[in-house]
Chain A
Amino acid sequence: MSEVTLPAAQRAPEAESVSPGRWVRENLFSSVSNVIQTVFFSLVLLGLLRWVLGQIFSEEANWTSVATNMRLLFTYNYPTEQFVRIWFAAGALFLAVGASFAAWNLNPMVTVRRIGVAVVGTGAVSLVVALISPDTTPSAVRTGFLAVGIGLVVLALAVLKVVPEPHRRQVPFIGMLAGVAVLVCGVLWFFPFGDYGFADGAPTAKSGTIDSSTSLPVTVMFLIMIGTYLAGRALARVIDLGWLRRTMIGWWVIGPAFVVFLVLRDPEFDWGYVLAVDVPMGAAFAVGGAVLLYLLAKPSRSDLARVIGALLVALALFHWVAAFFGWYPMLQKARFSFALVAVAVLLAPTFAGERAARLRFAGGWFGFMVLFHWLLTGINTPSTLDIAAPPFLGGFVLTVSIAYYVMLASFPLGVLLSLARTSKMPIFRVLATTYIEVVRGVPLITVLFFFSIMLPLFLPGGMGISDLAAVFAGYTVFSAAYMAENIRGGLQSVRRGQYEAADALGLTTVQRTAFIVLPQALRVSIPNLVGQAIATFKETSLIAIVGGFDLLRIANSTIPNQPDFLGQKRPALFFISLVYFVVAYSMSRASRNLEERLQEGQAR
């Protein structure tokens, strides 16, 4: 980071615009080779565009198959009468997005000129589309492209003329957000999407029947997001938003799990059993653990904490040994809780401090245990959803959830593996290196097959695992190896002096790692981690091969098998390509912005 980057506010303004004629001369026809390149690449571009348009507007392509199956593509067979759960989940998500943008003061600005040029470009492209689209294109579509193209070009040029100094004037983030919201909602309100559902027991396609039960909630949700963002920004002028950031981090770690397993899955609690067993057990672990941790987190009791922690680890391991030999029954949840208590007690010396720190530590444990038990109880309770096939997640929701949870679950595993691989302890190093290299050496699809076929065989009798959970476990195992390599890059960039300074302060190895080394290493590896998140998102498509109903599976086999759209693969495949592209591309743009922000933070 030796390069000096200007902070955002002082960044040089964009250059004045040059006249179009001069621009063309300089950029397209400056020399002989330049002219040859211009001719060659315009031919390539026109040929490619013509070919793609031929695919899109071919006579065989029935785009109604996509417009009718929107619900299927996004939520698969989630029951329509329960759709309020989907809207609630989406609302929570939009709220969190708005609040997070406000909390971190994310306010990417774009100049009016750039937007104007982009709009002119879009208009020009749609004009070209109208001109060179093949003969099979419906004339209404061609006219539409022509009208939209002319409209956009004229509008953008007019705006660029009217607004003074368009290369200086910036559009705030909220303006762009509103633009996206208007676009999406406008499409939802006015485009005749259909629906594919069961009428009298037979699958039927209803075209052009979208009603306000879809467009209204989406509109409301965009309003919620914009409102939250504005409220957060207004609040930030009055008070410090540090607490909101911490809350949002917590929400992003735990919230999605609750949305999926408690809201979307709708577990039917057996309240008698819950009150008799689950609640007391959770309360015992939460309260008992908190008291124990509060007592042991006193700096003078570090040795005691270590000894008790070691004993608790032994006890936790013994519970599993006992389970193996069947000595005494115990809920699996209790075994996990014991193990967590043991780990927390071992960590107590690391967080040892004065009263306030101990209270925070014990309080954190209490909150974590309550959430943990609530979530586990919810997951273990049968769902009330009336769905033909077991997985209640499907389509885009499945794609996004799997990607999110895989990243979330492989993160701690990846951190541990990278620490083990860079550690000085030979056994840890060899174990971690073997794991990472073996997993990185084989393709993801074999790992997924292995887990979906073999995992049930490795489990003890009577214990089952759903297909989706097995695939998820395999994907996490796979992703953790890559995560470890990305974090290792960051770990190696932490300078020796940091270690030495931490040692000089008398920190323990765990404290040094957790409070000094890891924060710096993770900061450096953020761009790589975002890259991995994009790759993870794209590779969720492999779930289609091992049996999950994700976007790809629906587009490639569900829709082409519907009686109304037999063999219609290409439209849906083109559509999901667009969906993947929009998500992945915006993530990569966001990561580029983030990288610039991080560099700004580094520059002094």
Chain B
Amino acid sequence: MTSQTVDQGTAGFSGHTRPPIWRNTSVLKWLVQIVVLVAVLAVFWFLAAQARTNLSAKGIPVSYDWLDEPANIQLGEGIQTVDTEERRLTMSRALWVGMVNTLRIASIGIIVSTIIGITVGIARLSKNWLARKVSSIYVETLRNVPVLVQIILWLAILGSLGKLTADSGPIPGWVIVSQKGISLPRVFLADGFYQFVSMVLIAMIPVWFVRRSLKRRQDREGGNTHATGITLGAFVVIAVIAWFANPVMAFLGPVFGGVESAWGSIPQGLMQLVLSVAALGGAVLWIKRFLDSRRTPAGLAKLIDDDWFRMIFAVVAALLAVLVLVRGWPGLSSWIVNSGSDLFGVISDKFGDGRGSRPIDAMKPTLSEGRFVNYGPTGLTMTVFYASLFFGLVFYTSSFIAEIVRGGILAVPAGQSEAAAALGLSRSQALRKVVLPQAFRVIMPPLGNQYLNITKNTSLGIAVGFSEIVQVGQTVYNKNSQTLAVFSIYMVFYLACSLSISSVVNTINRRLAIVER
């Protein structure tokens, strides 16, 4: 901006004559940009042409037809590992198993590394010398050794553990650590879970109103009304009662059954109409809110081209949606009708007589033929490959998260906690209500980066043979040489992961941001 104003200024200076074309910066800037764009496009075109020639010469033109072919791949672990009659393991299915494995380890890794990281980060700020030292040794050791080396070291260590026998493990029968992996009891949702949850939810509604009135009284009159304590106590009491008494809720089964048949009888045309009205109404609402946001005390602000474009885009998008609903894809409406009715059917099946009352149950690992049964009603087993990748990723990332947490807490000025103390807040209140909310504002963006890193680093599973997307993809392109197609799938998958994580983090950031007047 600055340069342009100055350029125009000097152009004006020279009086009536325009600068010659090779000195006119606005012409030159566009010329250079266009030349570079053309050069970039030319290079890409050239590379693509080369790749097409080379690939055709090898007899492997790029296509995606192979996705439906049977995979004939032995997957290490995942939601489906073998090819069966009723569920074919196609190439696309194999890649999907890899993606699920990636997401599984990434999401659990994110949770565990956050917990460890926050603990260690706070311990680094402890008043206790030993706590500070131990946690700083943890951080400095783990973050200065490459994560891949750590993962492979974990594999070597786990691989050198003892053989799996009936009495192996720190707690035989319950927690078993061996060279086959780590097995823990599995906690799962038992028969009575949905009855239990609905009972607790319904019983909590009056408690919630009591809590609100208690909080109001606290705000009005001062003094502690113990709103949170009473709520928690009521919750515990309700949960204990519901644990045993939840079969009472069996009547919800027929209720949901009724909803199922009612929803299923909605005609397709009505659903189309409702959805179209929703799309158009959404667009109108959006435009109204947009115009409101452009309104100033002096009247509607001048709209620039971009604003018009946005509004036109909203209308066009709504019209397109209507077109798709009515003409392009009428099946969508009947799909919503059918699957909605199915959903209520599934829910209604969760209630009913003859169900045990236990909402949650646990199972021990079962050993069969010298190895653990991984899926089905049995314990939870991490294979050594999963465990080494998991430990490597979690410990490495948690050391970075610890540093982020420490930095975030240190970034809150000391005056804030002093002011909180002056107001009479206790130390834990000051931490919860003054320091941590401000620290989170600093912590959140780099924390999001670490979550992205952990997701991307799951690709190192290829080094230990864990069947995540990159490893499965490699097996696939080693089989059919469709390298380019597999790489495009990698790219789309990882970009989707990155975008979804960063959009979640950005949303949280926007919520945390200081609202300035």
Give A contacts to B, CB under 8 Å. 27-28, 30, 34, 37-38, 41-42, 44-45, 55, 58, 60, 303, 306-307, 310, 317, 324, 424-428, 431, 438, 440-446, 449-450, 453-454, 457-461, 496, 499-500, 503, 509, 512, 534, 538-539, 541-542, 544-545, 552, 556, 569-570, 573-574, 576-577, 580-581, 584-585, 588
Question: A445 with B459: in contact, given A45-B130, A503-B2 (CB under 8 Å)?
Answer: yes
A307: chain B residues within 8 A (beta carbon):
22
B412 CB, min distance to chain A CBs, angstroms: 15
Interface centre among B20, B54, B55, B141 (most CB of A within 10 A): B54
The reply to whether A443 and B153 form a contact with Cβ atoms under 8 Å apart is no
Instruction: From B34-42, B92-100, B254-262, B434-442, give the one contacting chain A.
Output: B34-42
Q: Does B225 contact A (CB under 8 A)?
A: no
Give CA–CA (A55, B25) in the complex, Å: 67
Task: List 22 contacting pairs A-B, 8 Å CB cutoff, sorted by A.
Answer: A27-B129, A28-B128, A37-B130, A307-B22, A310-B22, A425-B29, A427-B37, A428-B33, A438-B491, A441-B494, A442-B456, A442-B490, A443-B494, A446-B494, A457-B51, A458-B51, A544-B148, A545-B148, A545-B460, A577-B153, A580-B146, A581-B141
Question: A424 with B55: in contact, given A38-B130, A441-B494, A446-B459 (CB under 8 Å)?
Answer: no
The reply to whether B22 and A303 form a contact with Cβ atoms under 8 Å apart is yes
Chain B residue with minimal CB distance to A569?
A: B156
A574: chain B residues within 8 A (beta carbon):
153
The reply to whether B470 and A443 form a contact with Cβ atoms under 8 Å apart is yes
B275 CB, min distance to chain A CBs, angstroms: 33
The reply to whether A454 and B128 form a contact with Cβ atoms under 8 Å apart is no
Q: Does B224 contact A (CB under 8 A)?
A: no
Q: Nearest 6 pairs between A and B by C-beta?
A: A27-B129, A443-B456, A538-B146, A584-B144, A443-B459, A427-B33
Q: Does B462 contact A (CB under 8 A)?
A: yes
Q: Looking at the complex, which one of A37, A458, A534, A580 makes contact with B50 (CB distance below 8 Å)? A: A458
The reply to whether B50 and A460 form a contact with Cβ atoms under 8 Å apart is yes
Give CA–CA (A424, B33) in the complex, Å: 11
Chain B residue with minimal CB distance to A581?
A: B144
Q: Looking at the complex, which one of B131, B149, B460, B494 makes contact with A577 (CB distance below 8 Å)? A: B149
The reply to whether B146 and A41 form a contact with Cβ atoms under 8 Å apart is no
A38: chain B residues within 8 A (beta carbon):
128, 130-131
The reply to whether A545 and B141 form a contact with Cβ atoms under 8 Å apart is no
- Contact flags (1/0) for B123-156 with A, using CB distance below 8 Å? 1001111110010000011001111111011001
Q: Does B157 contact A (CB under 8 A)?
A: yes
Q: Looking at the complex, which one of A41, A441, A503, A581 makes contact with B145 (CB distance below 8 Å)? A: A581
Chain A residue with minimal CB distance to B474?
A: A449
Chain B residue with minimal CB distance to A34?
A: B128
The reply to whether A34 and B144 form a contact with Cβ atoms under 8 Å apart is no
Interface residues on chain B, size class: 35 or more
Q: Does B495 contact A (CB under 8 A)?
A: yes
B495: chain A residues within 8 A (beta carbon):
438, 441-442
Question: A580 with B462: in contact, given A458-B51, A585-B144 (CB under 8 Å)?
Answer: no
The reply to whether B131 and A424 form a contact with Cβ atoms under 8 Å apart is no
Q: Does B334 contact A (CB under 8 A)?
A: no
Give CA–CA (A126, B411) in the complex, Å: 37
Q: Does B410 contact A (CB under 8 A)?
A: no
Q: Looking at the complex, which one of B4, B129, B463 makes contact with A545 (CB distance below 8 Å)? A: B463
Q: Looking at the complex, which one of B130, B134, B490 makes contact with A446 (CB distance below 8 Å)? A: B490
Q: Does B46 contact A (CB under 8 A)?
A: yes
B141 CB, min distance to chain A CBs, angstroms: 7
Q: Does B90 contact A (CB under 8 A)?
A: no
Q: Looking at the complex, which one of A425, A427, A458, A545 makes contact with B47 (CB distance below 8 Å)? A: A458
B244: chain A residues within 8 A (beta carbon):
none
The reply to whether A454 and B146 form a contact with Cβ atoms under 8 Å apart is no
A424: chain B residues within 8 A (beta carbon):
1, 3-4
The reply to whether B22 and A37 form a contact with Cβ atoms under 8 Å apart is no
Residues 1-50 (chain B) with a chain A CB within 8 angstroms? 1-4, 6, 20, 22-23, 25, 29, 32-34, 36-37, 39-40, 46-47, 50
- Given contact pairs A55-B157, A443-B470, A446-B470, a sample of 10 additional A-B residue pairs in the complex whose CB atoms are under 8 Å apart: A30-B127, A41-B130, A60-B160, A441-B498, A539-B146, A552-B152, A556-B152, A570-B156, A577-B153, A584-B145
B156: chain A residues within 8 A (beta carbon):
569-570, 573
B494: chain A residues within 8 A (beta carbon):
441-443, 446
- Contact flags (1/0) for B464-504 with A, using CB distance below 8 Å? 00000010001000000001100100110011001100000
Q: Does B268 contact A (CB under 8 A)?
A: no
Chain A residue with minimal CB distance to B31?
A: A310
A12 CB, min distance to chain B CBs, angstroms: 19
A577: chain B residues within 8 A (beta carbon):
145, 149-150, 153
Residues 399-453 (chain B) with a chain A CB within 8 angstroms? none
B157: chain A residues within 8 A (beta carbon):
55, 570
The reply to whether A450 and B3 form a contact with Cβ atoms under 8 Å apart is no
Q: Does B366 contact A (CB under 8 A)?
A: no
Give CA–CA (A310, B21) in the complex, Å: 13
The reply to whether A28 and B130 form a contact with Cβ atoms under 8 Å apart is yes
The reply to whether B1 and A573 form a contact with Cβ atoms under 8 Å apart is no
Interface centre among B130, B157, B484, B490 (most CB of A within 10 A): B130
The reply to whether A445 and B462 form a contact with Cβ atoms under 8 Å apart is yes
Q: Does B374 contact A (CB under 8 A)?
A: no
B55 CB, min distance to chain A CBs, angstroms: 6
B364 CB, min distance to chain A CBs, angstroms: 26
B387 CB, min distance to chain A CBs, angstroms: 16
Q: Looking at the complex, which one of A426, A445, A552 makes contact with B470 (CB distance below 8 Å)? A: A445
Give CA–CA (A122, B129) in the complex, Å: 17
Give CA–CA (A426, B153) in the complex, Å: 48
The reply to whether A499 and B2 form a contact with Cβ atoms under 8 Å apart is yes
The reply to whether A446 and B140 form a contact with Cβ atoms under 8 Å apart is no
A175 CB, min distance to chain B CBs, angstroms: 24
Give CA–CA (A556, B150) in the complex, Å: 12
The reply to whether B37 and A303 form a contact with Cβ atoms under 8 Å apart is no
Give CA–CA (A136, B460) in the complex, Å: 34
B457: chain A residues within 8 A (beta carbon):
443
B53: chain A residues within 8 A (beta carbon):
461
Q: Looking at the complex, which one of B37, B39, B146 makes contact with A541 (CB distance below 8 Å)? A: B146
B6: chain A residues within 8 A (beta carbon):
503
B3: chain A residues within 8 A (beta carbon):
424, 499, 503, 509, 512
Question: A588 with B456: in contact, given A446-B470, A552-B149, A577-B153 (CB under 8 Å)?
Answer: no
Chain B residue with minimal CB distance to A24?
A: B129
B458 CB, min distance to chain A CBs, angstroms: 8
A51 CB, min distance to chain B CBs, angstroms: 10
Question: A428 with B36: in contact, given A41-B131, A545-B463, A570-B157 (CB under 8 Å)?
Answer: yes
Q: Looking at the complex, which one of A324, A438, A570 makes contact with B46 (CB distance below 8 Å)? A: A324
B59 CB, min distance to chain A CBs, angstroms: 13
Chain A residue with minimal CB distance to B481?
A: A453
- Contact flags (1/0) for B53-88 with A, using CB distance below 8 Å? 111000000000000000000000000000000000
Chain B residue with minimal CB distance to A568?
A: B156
The reply to whether B129 and A28 form a contact with Cβ atoms under 8 Å apart is yes
A416 CB, min distance to chain B CBs, angstroms: 11
B40: chain A residues within 8 A (beta carbon):
431
A28: chain B residues within 8 A (beta carbon):
128-130
Question: A450 with B487: in contact, given A424-B1, A427-B36 (CB under 8 Å)?
Answer: yes
Give CA–CA (A141, B149) in the complex, Å: 27
A443: chain B residues within 8 A (beta carbon):
456-457, 459-460, 470, 494
Q: Looking at the complex, which one of B25, B36, B152, B491 makes contact with A509 (CB distance below 8 Å)? A: B25
Chain B residue with minimal CB distance to A428?
A: B33
A44: chain B residues within 8 A (beta carbon):
134
The reply to whether B128 and A41 form a contact with Cβ atoms under 8 Å apart is yes
Q: Looking at the complex, which one of B1, B54, B148 makes contact with A542 (CB distance below 8 Å)? A: B148
Give CA–CA (A574, B154) in the complex, Å: 11
Give CA–CA (A307, B127) in the complex, Å: 69
A503: chain B residues within 8 A (beta carbon):
2-3, 6
Give CA–CA (A427, B39) in the complex, Å: 12
B448 CB, min distance to chain A CBs, angstroms: 13
Question: A580 with B131: in contact, given A427-B34, A442-B495, A446-B490 (CB under 8 Å)?
Answer: no
